[in-house]
């Protein structure tokens, strides 16, 4: 398992449409991907799990990846979060 930190840059945070786009992106990977915020661990492949974190612009979120090609997947997920725009 590998982990890293991403900062939410999207002005609307990771809510509704952006969370839907994000989970669609994460579902293309075979590994397990989780987001961790304030000791709450959420499955990054589930829109409801992502929305429950209430991620807003400027917040940091920990990304955990476990599985095939995890280092590259971690980089891609962090990049996606940090460059996501509505």
Q: Which CATH class is domain 2-83?
A: alpha beta
Cβ–Cβ under 8 Å, residues 3 and 63: yes
The tens digit of pLDDT for each residue in 17-64 reads 999 999 999 999 999 999 999 999 999 999 999 999 999 999 999 999
The pTM score is 0.95
The tens digit of pLDDT for each residue in 57-83 reads 999 999 999 999 999 999 999 999 999
* Catalytic pick among 2, 15, 25, 32: 15
Residue 12 has phi, psi (to 5 degrees) of -95, 5
Question: Token pair for residue 42?
Answer: 């959420």
| Block residue for tokens 């991620």 | 55
Spatial separation of the C-alpha atoms in residues 21 and 81, rounded to whole Å:
10
Cβ–Cβ under 8 Å, residues 63 and 4: yes
For residue 24, indicate whether it is catalytic: no
């Amino acid at each position: 398992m590998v982990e890293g930190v991403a900062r939410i840059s999207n002005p609307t945070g990771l809510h509704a449409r952006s969370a839907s786009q994000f989970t669609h992106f994460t579902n293309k990977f075979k590994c397990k991907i989780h987001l961790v915020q304030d000791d709450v661990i959420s499955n990054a492949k589930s829109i409801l799990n992502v929305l429950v974190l209430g991620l807003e612009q400027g917040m940091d979120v920990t990304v955990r990846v476990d599985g095939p090609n995890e280092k590259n997947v971690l980089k891609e997920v962090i990049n996606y979060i940090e460059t996501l725009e509505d």
